[in-house]
Amino acid sequence: MILKIKNLKIPDIAPLNFEISENGLYGLIGRNGIGKSTLFGILSGEIGFSQGEIENGRVAYLPDVESFEESLKMHDYFKILKNSEQDRARELSLTFGADKFAKKRIGQFSLGMKELFATILSFSIDCDILIIDELFSGLDVSKKALVYEEVKKIAQEKIVLLTSHNLKEIEHFCDQAYLLSEKGLTLVTNFDEAAKEIGYMDVFFSERELMRKNTTLFGLYIF
C-alpha cells in the first residue's frame, strides 16, 4: 500500500508533498490549530479539497467520540460491520475489557469508555490506512498500554497515522514522525527541537519522566 500526497493545499500552510510506501506507525505532530485534523479529514474523505492530488486506499478514521448515538449500545454499532469485522470487534472487546460495559447505553459511558469503544470499532475495520486522531487521552495507563500494543501489531500490516498531544508517546511508539507547520510537512529528527517549535517543551519533558517511571508497564521501551 502507498499513501501519496502531491501539492495538497491546506489554508495557511505551504503545499504538502508526502509519501509513505511501507506499512508502519507514523506520527503527526504540530501546534494546536495548524491543520492536523483537517489533513486527516481530507485523507479520510470527510473533508474536500480544491488543490492537489491524493493516492491512497481504504481509510478507517477513528470517529469523534461525541458523535455516537447515546441511546444505542456497542453491539448495535457492531451490526453495521461485515461478519469478519464483527468477529474482530468482539475479540478486541475481550482483549481491552470492554465486554464489561457491553450492556450499557453509550450515553452512560465515561470519556475513556467512549474512546475505547471508538478504538475497537476502527481497529476492526478492514482497511489499508488507519487514522488515529487524539483518541487516547481519556484512557488510563494500563488500557493505553494494551491499545498501543495492538496498534503496533496493526502497523505491521497497514499504514497507521497517529496524532497526539503527548509527544513522548509519538517519539516512543512511532516508527517515524512528521511535523506539520506553516512550512509544510517535515520529518522529525530531533524531538527536543520539535517540542520547542510547537511550544510543548515543559510538557514534553514531564511526559518523558512519566514514561521512564512506567517503562515496565508500557513494555520494552528503555531510555
Of residues 162, 79, 76, the one with CA closest to residue 119: 162
CA distance 148 to 202: 24
Does the 1-58+127-142+157-223 domain belong in CATH 3.90.780.10?
Answer: no
CA distance 179 to 29: 5
User: Cα-flanking dihedrals φ and ψ of residue 208, to 5°?
Assistant: -60, -45
Q: pLDDT tens digits, residue range 81-119?
A: 999 999 999 999 999 999 998 889 999 999 889 999 999
Of residues 116, 161, 109, the one with CA closest to residue 137: 116
Q: pLDDT tens digits, residue range 164-222?
A: 888 888 998 999 999 999 999 999 999 989 988 888 654 444 444 444 544 443 333 22
CA distance 53 to 28: 19
Cα distance between the two ends of the chain: 32
- Residue 203: which H helix or E strand, with range? helix 201-213
pTM of the model: 0.85
Which cell goes with 41?
A: 479529514
- Residue 204: which H helix or E strand, with range? helix 201-213
Count of residues making up the chain:
223
pLDDT, position 216: 41
Task: Spell out the long-range contacts of 184-187 with Cβ–Cβ below 8 A and sequence spacing 24 or more.
Answer: 184/13, 184/14, 184/15, 184/16, 184/17, 185/16, 185/17, 185/18
Q: pLDDT tens digits, residue range 139-175?
A: 888 888 899 999 999 999 999 999 988 888 899 899 9
SS3 9: coil
Per DSSP, helices labelled H in 134-190 are: 141-154, 167-173
Pairing status of strand 59-61 against strand 129-133: parallel
- Give one word for 106, left, alpha or beta, with left for phi > 0 and alpha for psi -120 to 50: alpha
Which residues of the chain form CATH 3.40.50.300?
1-58+127-142+157-223
